[in-house]
Amino acid sequence: MNGDELIQRYQAGERDFSGVVLEHLALSNISLEEINLSSVNLESSELQNVNLHNANLSHVDLEGISW
């Protein structure tokens, strides 16, 4: 899944993205509060100023991530 699809689905009300492959994702200046990213691969992603308040990040692959 790419960043545009993630944002589109999140804005439509979806919150459960558990197990999705999102490596090399580039997001900035966005709020993803209460999103479920458990067991997601975020390897080599860029998340600049992304609000993840109350997000589920259990078992997330954060290798090489840029905050």
- pLDDT tens, 8-45? 999 999 999 999 989 899 999 999 999 999 999 999 99
Predicted local confidence at residue 67, as pLDDT: 86
Please check whether residue 35 lies inside any domain of the structure.
yes
In a domain, 58, yes or no: no
* Residue 62 pLDDT level (bands cut at 50, 70, 90): confident
- Domain count along the chain: 1
Residue 60 in any domain: the answer is no
Decide if 11 is inside a domain. Answer: yes
The secondary structure of 4-64 as a DSSP string is HHHHHHHHTT--B-TT-B-TT-EEEEEE-TT-B-TT-B-TT-EEEEEE-TT-B-TT-B-TT
Task: Identify the domain containing residue 27 by its residue range.
Answer: 3-51
Q: How far is CA 41 from CA 12, 35, 54, 60, in A?
A: 22, 14, 19, 6
